Amino acid sequence: MCYMIILSWALFYLLFSFSSTLPWASWDNTWNTDNCSTVGKNRTFNRTEQSNSSSAATEFWERRVLSISGGIEELVKVNWEVLLCLIAVWIICYFCMWKGIKSSGKVVYFTATFPYVMLLVLLVRELTLPGALQGIVYYLYPDPERLLDPQVWMEAGTQVFFSYSSCVGLLTVLGSCNTYNNNCYKDCFMLCLLNSCTILGFMAHEHGKPIAEVAESGPGLAFIAYPQAVAMIPLPQVWAVCFFVMVMLLCLDTEFIALETIVTSVTDIFPRVLRRPRHRGLILPVFCLFCFMMQLIMVTEGGMYWFQLFDYYACSGACVLFPSVFQTLAIGWIFGAKRLCDIIEDMTGSYPNVIFRVCWKYITPLISLVTLIYYLVDLKPLTYNREYLYPGWAHGLGWMLALSSILMVPVWAMGCLWSAKGSFRQRWLYLVSPDRSLPLKTKGRNSGSDLICADGSNVNSNVKKNKKANNSLNVIFSSYKSFLRYWVSG
């Protein structure tokens, strides 16, 4: 959900980028205050020459785009311009994927590669700016003291989950579109290779400040820091258009793939109904409309507070780290690292290196668990702009959003164990065995079929009975789980 709001902001900025004078580069607009300042030619200008002045880019962001209120409970009114932008980006997203993975897959060829072209163009331009070397050194040179800070490593670990879209279902859904003998070994290697800032130096040069005081995080980096820097270089409209087009394509690329996840998951649950001609065209607009209605609160004057609440609790942190612990333990110890290696060999003809088994069983579960524990111990109250403290009921609502996905792991497991037939051991062994419908060869099939229960019977003797018993429960839990996957991912 958060990506569509970012898209609407980016479209709002893109439209203003065609102005003869960029509105975030001047301080004589109706939304500016007496403390507004602009930067240019190594000097800072403001109306009153006060030390507590705010930049024109900051005031455009907070007073023009967000029209931000005094707190999360003060919704006041809807920002109609941002609302129209939100409607426009939802329409674009819908037509990018209305024909399914084939159409969205073709769009990805453009949306995933064009941003790299734009980044290269922006990099070349920024290398010519004064202070660019200072930005490169700040970006690439490590601070040994910061490397000793556990918070840095926790953020790095969280970023790995975010950048690889782990634990939210995206990779599972996209992988299901491949053939059984697709070389997943090679795909994973290429994904890690491809996934694995000079403009800050220019801004520091113009401001005469250290880079640490110029650089920002979150939405402020894209909608305050960079627009402010663009306004200080020649032909600012050209570079502003390039930057916000790149931001839109990056968000679109992520959004309609995330949307494809929920649509594909629901379609797989009800294949006889939803895989019929034109039936997909019914569920997609309904789901898009539902998400759009849920986002209306984020285009009000208090919408930024709600956006940050969703982003902090429902899109990152515990709701991603908690499932990661269970998933790594399930793969490495319950399903079995050796059994997974056998299946990969059956699919690709290549047996995974021993280092993968070590990672699946020990390293990855340990890192995931340590990261989760540190996150919970070091959890700090949510604030906006380091000044506004969220009320208690907002934190409670945030944890409800997080727990809605966290609790699905134990609830799903207990539900499956309860609905299966046989003794507890039979149920357990059945649920951790490979699906019998997989086209496994002898080695891969034996890894899941030669499981003998305590009473001497084979664990797969109750497969048909268990599948029938689990069917109704799976429909309910899969629908809810699929919705939460999309909710968390964006």
Write out the chain's pLDDT in tens, 490 residues.
678 899 999 999 999 999 888 888 887 888 888 778 765 544 444 444 445 667 888 889 988 999 999 899 998 889 999 999 999 999 988 887 776 666 666 666 777 777 778 777 777 777 777 777 776 676 667 677 776 777 777 777 777 777 777 777 777 777 777 787 888 877 777 777 666 544 444 444 444 545 455 445 556 667 887 888 788 778 889 888 988 988 888 888 778 778 888 888 788 777 777 777 677 677 888 888 998 999 999 999 999 999 999 888 887 777 888 888 888 888 888 888 888 888 888 888 888 889 989 999 999 899 888 888 888 888 888 888 778 899 999 999 999 988 888 888 788 888 888 888 888 888 888 887 766 666 666 554 444 444 433 333 444 444 444 444 444 444 444 444 444 444 444 4
Residue type, 15: L
Give the list of residues 6+ apart from residue 274 with CB closer than 8 angstroms, or none.
266, 267, 280, 283
Residue 403, phi then psi, degrees to nearest 5: -70, -25
What pLDDT, on the 0 to 100 scale, is given for residue 15? 94
Query: Are the C-beta atoms of 14 and 245 separated by less than 8 Å?
Result: yes
Number of other CB atoms surrounding residue 291 within 10 Å: 19
Residue type, 71: G
What pLDDT, on the 0 to 100 scale, is given for residue 140? 65
Pairing of strands 43-46, 36-40: antiparallel
Residue 132, phi then psi, degrees to nearest 5: -60, -40
What pLDDT, on the 0 to 100 scale, is given for residue 443? 52
What pLDDT, on the 0 to 100 scale, is given for residue 277? 67
What pLDDT, on the 0 to 100 scale, is given for residue 104? 63
Q: Is 252 annotated as a binding residue?
A: no
- Whole-angstrom Cα distance, residue 230 to residue 227? 5
What pLDDT, on the 0 to 100 scale, is given for residue 1? 64
What pLDDT, on the 0 to 100 scale, is given for residue 80? 93
Q: Is 26 annotated as a binding residue?
A: no
What pLDDT, on the 0 to 100 scale, is given for residue 49? 45
What pLDDT, on the 0 to 100 scale, is given for residue 47? 45
What pLDDT, on the 0 to 100 scale, is given for residue 195? 62
Q: Is 54 annotated as a binding residue?
A: no
| pTM, to two decimals | 0.77
What pLDDT, on the 0 to 100 scale, is given for residue 457? 43
Query: Are the C-beta atoms of 174 and 395 separated by less than 8 Å?
Result: no
What pLDDT, on the 0 to 100 scale, is given for residue 467? 47
What pLDDT, on the 0 to 100 scale, is given for residue 179? 80
Nearest Cα residue to 419 out of 427, 411, 408: 427
Q: Is 163 annotated as a binding residue?
A: yes
Give the list of residues 6+ apart from residue 364 with CB closer than 8 angstroms, or none.
328, 332
Tell me, rounded to whole angstroms, the distance of Cα 392 from its chain centroid. Answer: 26
- Which residue pairs from 468-477 have beta carbons closer than 8 angstroms and sit at least 24 positions apart in sequence? 469/419, 469/420, 469/421, 470/416, 470/419, 470/420, 473/415, 473/416, 473/419, 474/269, 474/416, 475/269, 475/270, 477/408, 477/411, 477/412, 477/415
Residue type, 134: Q
